[in-house]
Amino acid sequence: MLDKQKLMELFELNEQQLEAVDITRNISVSAGAGSGKTRLLVARFLLLLLEDDGVEMDNIAAVTFTNKAALEMKERIRSVIDRCIRTDRDDGRTRWYKYKEDLFFANINTIHGLCSTIIRENAGMLGIDPNFSVMDDVDRIMVQRDISRSVVKKYTGDPTYSQQVRQLVRMYDTGYITSGRLAAHLVAILGKALELGLSLDDIKKDAGPHTVEFMLCSMVEEINALYRDYKYSRGMLDFTDLETLTLKLLKNPSIRTFYRNRFKRFLVDEFQDTNKVQKEIIYSLVTGDDGRLLDKRLFIVGDLKQSIYGFRGTDYKIFEQVTRDMGPGSQRTLDICYRSLPEVIQSINVIFQPILKGYRPLKAPAGARATGRTAVELITYNPPKKEEDPAKAVKDMIKAGEGCDIQILKEGLKRLREELDKQPPAADPEARVIAQRIAKLVDTEGYAYKDISILVRSRYKVPVYEQQLAAAGIPYCLLGGKGLYEKQEIVDILSLYKFIVCPEDLVSFITAMRSPLFCIPDDMLARLMNEYVENKLDHMLDAFEYVIETLDEGDDGFYYLNRAHDILSRLMKEKGYLNTTGLLETIIDRCEVMQVLATQSHGPQRLVNVEKLLGIARRFEAKGMFKPQQFIEYLDTMDEQVGDEGEGALDTEDSDAVKIMTIHGAKGLEFDVVIVPSIDSECVSRMKRWVPPLVLDEDLGLIAGGTSQAEQNPKFDEYLSRQAQREIDENNRIYYVAMTRAKKLCILIAKNKDCSKDFKKQPLVLDSFYKQLRYVTDVEGVNIPYFKEVLWDPDFLPGAAYAGHYDKWLDDLDINLIAPRLDYKCQEEAWLFTSPSRYLDYLKCPRGYYFKYVALIDGLEETGGILAEAMEEQGLQHPETVGGDVMGTMVHDILRRMVQEGLPFNTAFDRSVKGRPGLSGKDVPNCYAQIKRYVDNFLSIDGQVKDLMEGQRVKTLCEYSFSYLPHPGKRVVIGGSVDRVDVYRSGDKNTALIIDYKTNRVEDAGDVQTLARYYGTQLKLYARAVGNLLYIQNRAIDEIRMMLYLLDCGRWVEVPYDDRDIDRMTERMYTDLSGGAGDGGVESFPTRQGQHCMGCSYKVICDKAVMVK
């Protein structure tokens, strides 16, 4: 066994971490912010291999919160192993080589990755296809809502439930049912029930018969049954299925015993963000038949103070429950924070000690000394006084409805426009505080822009911050914020799309008409609306005809009205036979969208946004699950589900600009300065605005809350009360996470409010972090060390609202200091995830690579006709009656079954072809003959190559998947899959033979050399991965050979291996795919003209991109 000192040196542990890594018992670790929990997990993992008898790599299951965390953990483990290989004695290196070989197959994954493995291995027990696909949350919600609407329609028309339906209408009104809100809320209830592991039968029984709740439960049951049939008939599962089906499997004693014996040790990270079902899955594998934890089985790491995913159904109390189950002496604490200065640590401790229940203070490392600098700064500002709304008169007229005279309304709009023209646009005071403080941090306090981050609770004010930072010349990098669907050019296109598919949507009509697509003046638009309403017309197109008849060709607006009428008429006729993409493309073409956008500021970016929208539309259609009318709902659902939590935030911590991201997105990151705005936002009122009238609670059951006093449900009030306290608690934890991202300084920003009245209310409700902070300082009299409060003076920083100060400000302005900011381009270095096949696409044409992988734009037209002929001439694709992709996939799958499973050709063919998408019965005979020829050639090639190799073949890996970092210190990950790797042993020498199958047409020796040059790059990248990652029988690979199997002609060709050549190539690949010497935009990826341009599916965009250089 390793002694204490050796362990600390080997894994670079402190005393606390050493105590927590104890493998002799179950351990629960409470790891504070910045305390080194990843290092602890790595040490525990390797120590189990070194000192826990009978534990092999496959016996350990490490569960992480994200896929990225799993990759990082593997890399950290590999780094320790590499260090030990370099420093250990010869007799000790053998085991480290073995660990490195096994690490590729280690069970380090998310909980859903682990569940997926168990389900695929036991799919027969569940009666499902082991090759199931996993639905994302957007598809799940879309399908469930579609089913839910049909179920609602069925039940509300069923006389059996007439009494409950009438009561539902009394409680909410008919609009609640007809608008689709009821259907959406039923879907949410179903999700909550599955998330909590609640039985719908039990919920139904608790509701009691003849009640609204009973009817609603019956509806949810039917939605679930229909949804389940939908999924299983298509070979699909969703993330909830992965959990519930795994739990179902593990209730089978034999299956549970098998996996309990296989996974002897569990390590779970971020355990405070575990839900009930996930806990049951883990407990099925770490407890005995009596339900008690088995010895040494479970190691959990988490921090109750950082539990901020309650909205996903996680429950931090599970962490406490499991810790209690482990018994006395099982709890360990990591409270030494290596991230922040001692001043920051002390301030955070004093602030949160009275706010967070059971708070464990953080400690500074031994020897760290405070210097007395300010650590936490509270900036308050006086909000501008509310002035009379100049739009009030117009709003009142609009509210009057049909009684509003159109001429009076026009006069009111004219006066409103004149009034607004007089007023300078008022800058948001909080945004101005942020810009002013950042300028001071950089200009006088020695910070760089990249040292500063703005962490927001929600993204609704991010566009305001963006505008002010841009006006102040401050470079920033936005992670999240204003999404694609909120960009004006996308809003305009989608508004027109909505009106075409739903002519009753007049809001979308008005938006589209006022946009640059049509440029209809407001007075003309008012005439159209007036004709439509007064004459009770069936369609808005009729209103156009009424108004156009009253105009002469020379009148203002005649051209625009006539053009709009023509475009709309044609689109209305064509929508019946156009799919989603076709209708969008027609809108873009008819309205000359590309030409309009190209003339506007940020034109290239706007063009790419439109192309990205088209790419999303194509992927929407490719799913084959929805109708064109559902596209807008699909986009709304996608935006709703992606929300604030884009994982891109984790990839840009080194960008050379101020970073704006959500607090959730910043978890795990750190910055010198953290700015946290809007801490006065009241979380309870925000929560109540979004709580639906139908809710499901684990304790209270299904609750229907009425909207009128007579229909109020006491249970709903109790639910709101409980939820309010949960919201306050989570809000406090969210701000703890935000403040602990700061290394040197945390700046909090809030409106200057007098909270004394709030403190006198009973019960006391401190529903904002600002009130919590004020209560600590003003009521409890706590003196926060290294804390400074500043009341911001609005006159200090000039802005549009204080135009009188402009002159003095401009006189004092040093243009030499501002000029570099104006020319600034963000030098963001994001993680680059790529593959050898992607790099081949780049070498073929960098511009095409940009459109496909950077801008995420699908091809604009089918790659048939000229493109197919051009590719055929180049020998890059064999012309098949079946699509090339389908044929290639079948060939690879059949060869894998023959090599790996030892199946004869006919059996492998039958299993590969059966039920394959894209293949009809009439295609099978032709496919058989073609593939049989490929396989015969393969057997001939394989025999020849085997005779060439020295030694004995000791290992064959088919479809060897890999992921590795080719350049330490550079943020690039190369991943892919090698068709086959054979390992030969001759004496002490391991030779890896990398084999790539190709079905390209080959007519002469020139074609062979062309293919060898073209695919040589791909093989060399495969070779570098195999050389770095593959270890066989405790030895690294000594020699690498690379072969192309040309199955069309029955020949093989060897590609020479050269380490220095591969080093240069991977360095060049990183430079190329990062945008070369450019700024990473489209112009950094030049067009490589050639024969492939003739039929390129990006030709239209490429031509336009060249025009708008």
Same structural domain for residues 82 and 193?
Answer: no
Among 313, 334, 355, which residue terminates a domain? Answer: 334
What length does the chain have? 1109
**764 within a domain of the structure (yes/no):** no
**226 within a domain of the structure (yes/no):** yes
Same structural domain for residues 230 and 254?
Answer: no
H or E segment and range at residue 834 = strand 832-834
pLDDT bracket for residue 867 (50, 70, 90): very low
197 or 921: which carries more pLDDT confidence?
197
Task: Match 């479970």 to its residue by tokens.
Answer: 298
**749 within a domain of the structure (yes/no):** no
Among 234, 254, 283, which residue terminates a domain? Answer: 234
pLDDT tens sequence across 539-570 = 888 889 888 888 887 776 788 888 999 999 99
Query: Among 383-397, 458-472, 653-667, where is mean pLDDT lowest?
Result: 383-397
Residue 883 has what pLDDT? 56
DSSP 969: T
Same structural domain for residues 160 and 43?
Answer: no
**CA-wise closest residue to 945 among 1044, 1049, 1021:** 1044
Same structural domain for residues 14 and 75?
Answer: yes
Is a pLDDT exceeding 60 seen at residue 1093? yes
Residues in contact with 1094: Cβ distance below 8 Å, sequence separation at least 6, in sequence order:
866, 867, 870
Residue 816 has what pLDDT? 47
pLDDT tens sequence across 44-100 = 999 999 988 889 999 999 999 888 888 889 999 999 999 888 888 777 788 888 898
Domain count within the chain: 4
Residue 814 has what pLDDT? 46
pLDDT tens sequence across 407-432 = 666 666 666 666 655 555 556 889 99
Same structural domain for residues 956 and 1044?
Answer: yes
Residues 378 and 773: beta-carbon distance below 8 Å: yes
**Hey, what amino acid is at 532?**
Y
DSSP 643-704: TT--GGGGG-TT-SSEEEEEHHHHTT--EEEEEE--TT--HHHHHHHH--SEEEETTTEEEE
What are the backbone dihedrals phi and psi of residue 930, each rounded to the nearest 5 degrees, phi first?
-65, -50
pLDDT tens sequence across 748-791 = 999 998 898 888 888 888 999 999 999 999 999 999 999 999 99
Residues in contact with 567: Cβ distance below 8 Å, sequence separation at least 6, in sequence order:
518, 590, 591
Task: Residue 1082: give its domain's CATH number.
Answer: 3.90.320
Same structural domain for residues 1083 and 944?
Answer: yes
Same structural domain for residues 938 and 1018?
Answer: yes
pLDDT tens sequence across 688-722 = 877 888 888 888 888 887 655 445 678 888 888 88
H or E segment and range at residue 1103 = helix 1099-1107
Residue 364 has what pLDDT? 92
Same structural domain for residues 228 and 258?
Answer: no
- Token digits for 1001? 């047409």
Same structural domain for residues 280 and 213?
Answer: no
Ranges of beta strands (E only) in 207-363 are 236-237, 265-268, 298-302, 331-334
pTM: 0.66
Same structural domain for residues 99 and 157?
Answer: no
Residues in contact with 657: Cβ distance below 8 Å, sequence separation at least 6, in sequence order:
449, 450, 475, 476, 477, 824, 826, 827, 828
CA-only gyration radius of the chain, Å: 32
Q: How far is CA 114 from CA 62, 109, 667, 996, in A?
A: 9, 6, 23, 30
Residues 1100 and 869: beta-carbon distance below 8 Å: no
Helices (H) and strands (E) in the chain, counts: 47, 25
Residues 580 and 631: beta-carbon distance below 8 Å: yes
- Token digits for 295? 């010895």
Number of other CB atoms surrounding residue 947 within 10 Å: 7
Residue 271 has what pLDDT? 92
Task: Residue 602: give its domain's CATH number.
Answer: 1.10.486.10
Same structural domain for residues 57 and 117?
Answer: yes
- Measure the CA–CA gap between 1028 and 78, rounded to whole angstroms: 11
The rounded percent of the chain whose pLDDT value lies above 90 is 33
Task: Residue 45: give its domain's CATH number.
Answer: 3.40.50.300
**1016 within a domain of the structure (yes/no):** yes
Residue 654 has what pLDDT? 55
**653 within a domain of the structure (yes/no):** no
pLDDT bracket for residue 877 (50, 70, 90): very low
The domain of 1023 spans 832-1095
pLDDT tens sequence across 250-272 = 999 999 999 999 999 999 999 99
Among 642, 672, 687, which residue terminates a domain? Answer: 642
DSSP 329-389: T-EEEE-B-SSS-HHHHHHHHHHHTTTSTTPPPPBPPTT--------EEEEEEPPPPPPP-
Q: Is the peptide bond before 503 cis (omega within 30 degrees of 0)?
A: no
**756 within a domain of the structure (yes/no):** no
- Measure the CA–CA gap between 468 and 287, rounded to whole angstroms: 56
Residue 532: alpha-carbon gap to chain centroid: 44
**709 within a domain of the structure (yes/no):** no
**801 within a domain of the structure (yes/no):** no
H-helix segments, 1030-1081:
1059-1073
H or E segment and range at residue 450 = none
Residue 487 has what pLDDT? 73
Residue 966 has what pLDDT? 75
pLDDT bracket for residue 288 (50, 70, 90): very high
pLDDT tens sequence across 351-369 = 999 999 889 999 999 888 8
813 or 601: which carries more pLDDT confidence?
601
Same structural domain for residues 10 and 156?
Answer: no
